[in-house]
Amino acid sequence: MPANFDVQYVARLARIALTPAEEEKFAAQLSQVLGYIEKLNQLDVSGIEPTAHAVPLLNVVRPDKVCPSLDNQDALRNAPAKANGLFLVPKIVE
């Protein structure tokens, strides 16, 4: 496993707050998993194209026409905080 795997840093990238106990436990468990994943380095992949998905389709588009979609009330139905038909969030711009 790479020596520079910093669980605290990556958790921050992923926007997940961890307790110190979680940090310790996940660091150990993920080291094991990363150690196992190293197995892929034994594989010769030179000249092989990557596969992103297995579907024989490319660039699926639809006509640029207005279709029915969720109305405002349905879209806000599960909002943790809302007002005047909008989502309420903490202040973003100072």
Please report how close the Cβ of residue 50 comes to another protein at its closest, in angstroms: 3
Which residues are registered as beta bridge partners of 83? 86
Least distance in Å: CB of 62 to another protein? 6
Is the Cβ–Cβ distance between 76 and 87 less than 8 Å?
Answer: yes
Binding to another protein (CB under 8 A): which residues in 29-48? 29-30, 32-34, 36-37, 39-41, 43, 45, 48
Least distance from C-beta 30 to another protein, angstroms? 6
Long-range CB contacts (within 8 A, 24+) of 90-94:
none
Candidate list 3, 17, 66, 83; residue touching another protein; CB under 8 A: 17
CA dist 17 → 2, 9, 10 (Å): 23, 11, 11
